[in-house]
């Protein structure tokens, strides 16, 4: 299975998805014109990845900001990762949610996702 890499822009995050290493990174701002179109290849990649995932999948999410339509798409990404989590067991998926130390909104967003999903999240504070 091919790795997926999307170059970030002022409106879209940088995305790196490595099949062999089992590392998924989404970093930057997520305010695309059409969130569904932007996140579609990510969700499709995860569908394929879920068929034979790495033993351990590490997910690093470091978003400065995301809009409402992106939040739904990000939830779709996490739901696909839940499939991998169910397949690989408790240590199969770890999600690191990064946020700036003074960004309460981003911390709360991570906590909201954590409350919806059955995957353990680790809240990681970035010091400025």
Q: What is the pLDDT of residues 30-70, one digit of tens each?
A: 999 999 999 999 999 999 999 999 999 999 999 999 999 99
24-28, 58-62, 84-88, 104-108: least confident range: 84-88
Q: Residue 86: which CATH number?
A: 3.30.750.24
The stretch 96-125 carries a mean pLDDT of 95
- C-alpha pair distances (Å), 23 with each of 10, 33, 67: 23, 27, 24
Q: C-alpha angle with apex 96: 106 to 85, nearest 5 degrees? A: 120
Tell me the percentage of the chain whose pLDDT exceeds 70. 99
User: Which pLDDT value is given to residue 8?
Assistant: 97
| pLDDT for the residue numbered 127 | 83
Q: Which domain holds residue 70?
A: 4-126
* Structural domain total, the chain: 1
């Amino acid at each position: 299975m091919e790795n997926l890499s999307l170059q970030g822009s002022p409106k879209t995050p940088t995305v790196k998805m490595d099949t062999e290493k089992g590392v998924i990174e989404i970093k930057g701002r997520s305010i695309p014109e059409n969130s569904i179109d932007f996140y579609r290849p990510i969700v499709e990649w995860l569908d394929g990845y879920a068929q034979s995932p790495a033993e351990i999948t590490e997910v690093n999410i470091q978003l400065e900001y995301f809009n409402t339509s992106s939040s739904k798409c990000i939830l779709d990404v996490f739901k696909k990762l839940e499939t991998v989590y169910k397949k690989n067991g408790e240590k199969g998926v770890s999600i690191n949610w990064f946020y700036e130390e003074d960004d309460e909104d981003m911390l709360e967003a991570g906590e909201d996702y954590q409350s919806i999903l059955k995957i353990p999240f680790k809240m990681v504070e970035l010091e400025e």
